[in-house]
Structure 1
Amino acid sequence: MAESLEDLSTMLNDLNGVSQRIGLKMNMDKTKIMFNVHVTPMPVVVASTMLEVDDEYVYLGQIVRLGKSNFDREVNRRIQLGWAFWKLRHIFLSGIPQSLKTKVYNQCVLPVMTYGSETWSFTAGRMRTLKVTQRAMERAMLGVSLRDKK
């Protein structure tokens, strides 16, 4: 974080220089710049590379955004990751009895979906979305459709 673009540029160039002196190299493809509403976005160049400006990006598994946080996007992204992990079920459910499949869900898929959730502000709508997804995944585990009358 910096007070001005000049400060930011100086800080990043200093970081790059010190890193190179001790044998490290900044990954300019992963280095991103974000501006708040009080700063006019302008290009920032470090070691002859113009850094990319982003509104949001994933850092340590969470979407980082400036301004008003929109946790709905993070919840939806996590649900997509949970379904992607569920698609690998043929790998981690092979040979497991039907009675243990819910346990596998709780130990494998649920943590993928709720990683970092302690920072989310939960509304009734977000809770409902997660519950609906959980029930849909449990139905998928059991091979039961919503159309089945069981």
Structure 2
Amino acid sequence: MNVLDLAYADDLAIMSESTTELEEFIQDFETITQKCGLTMNVKKTLIMSVKQLQQDATGRIIKGQMVNQLDFNMKIRNEKDKHTESFIYLGCCITADQTMEKKIGIRISKASAPFYMLKYCVWHRKTVSYDAKLRIFRACVVPILLYGSEVWALTNIQERRLNSFYMKCLRTIIGANLEDRLSNAKMLELTGQPQIRCYLEKE
């Protein structure tokens, strides 16, 4: 990749296989971008070491065991680097352990914000039809909840966690409560909405 191509981006995620390779890239990047009048924001720069699963002599993964992480002691412009276990890039959470748990939590949290913001002005307002409420839900909440799901590899537990939030939203929209004892299947039938799995498979 031509380093000059990166001048068009204001947020970068760079991957390397060693500290030496990363240091060389940063030096080249600094030298070339400064010639273009650009500087890297050191205070916002984070370094993360991705965790790798341990393998045996045959190459098979040893469950629950991780490869010892490299000890990073880099400095950029004489400032010590900042280490992190996760960071947000283009709206997606990248984690060192490469699992989906934190990502799912973030998506639910982000989708909760607009959903509860509309609680009294839309979901609880009787003058707004159910059809209109559901269209608003599909337009304003579902895309946030499933942002980036095209590349997700979910476990059954993680999918159920998403589904739990999804069904909770639908119950709020139609005014159902736990005392009504409506099953998820009945809830989907009443609202005419697809299962969360249909959205995931479509993505």
TM over 0.5: yes
1:147 to partner: Cα distance = 3.2
1:92 to partner: Cα distance = 7.5
Q: Which residue of 1 aligns with 2:64?
A: none
- Is the CA contact (8 Å cut-off) linking 1:13 and 1:47 kept in structure 2? no
Q: Which residue of 2 aligns with 1:51?
A: 81
1:30-89 deviation per Cα after TM superposition (whole angstroms, max 9, x unaligned): 32112244552222111222221112211111221345x211221122111111121221
Question: Is there any run of 5+ residues in structure 2 with no aligned partner, and where?
Answer: 1-14, 51-66, 183-203
Looking at both structures, which has the greater relative contact order when contacts are Cα pairs under 8 Å and sequence separation is at least 6? Answer: 1
Question: Is there any run of 5+ residues in structure 1 with no aligned partner, and where?
Answer: none
4+ long deviations beyond 6 Å: none
Q: Structure 1 residues 86 and 17, CA, compared in 2 at 3 Å: closer, same or farther?
A: same
Q: Structure 1 residues 28 and 91, CA, compared in 2 at 3 Å: closer, same or farther?
A: farther
Q: Distance in 2 between matches of 1:83 and 1:49?
A: 38
AA aligned to 2:93 is I
Q: Distance in 1 between matches of 2:20 and 2:181?
A: 66
Higher Rg? 2
Give the stretch that moved more between structures: 47-56 or 33-42: 33-42
Matches within 5 A, 1:30-41: 30-36=44-50, 37=67, 39-41=69-71
| Aligned match for 1:19, one of 12, 23, 33 | 33
Report the 3-state secondary structure (helix = DSSP H, G, I; strand = E; otherwise coil) of the residue aligned with 1:63: strand
Q: How many residues align?
A: 149
1:3-26 deviation per Cα after TM superposition (whole angstroms, max 9, x unaligned): 432332222122122212101121
1:104 to partner: Cα distance = 0.7
Aligned sequence identity (%): 25
Q: What TM-score does the superposition give when structure 2 sets the normalisation length?
A: 0.63
Q: Distance in 1 between matches of 2:16 and 2:82?
A: 17
Report the 3-state secondary structure (helix = DSSP H, G, I; strand = E; otherwise coil) of the residue aligned with 1:58: strand
CA RMSD of aligned residues (A): 2.6
Q: What TM-score does the superposition give when structure 1 sets the normalisation length?
A: 0.82
| Aligned match for 2:116, one of 87, 104, 121 | 87
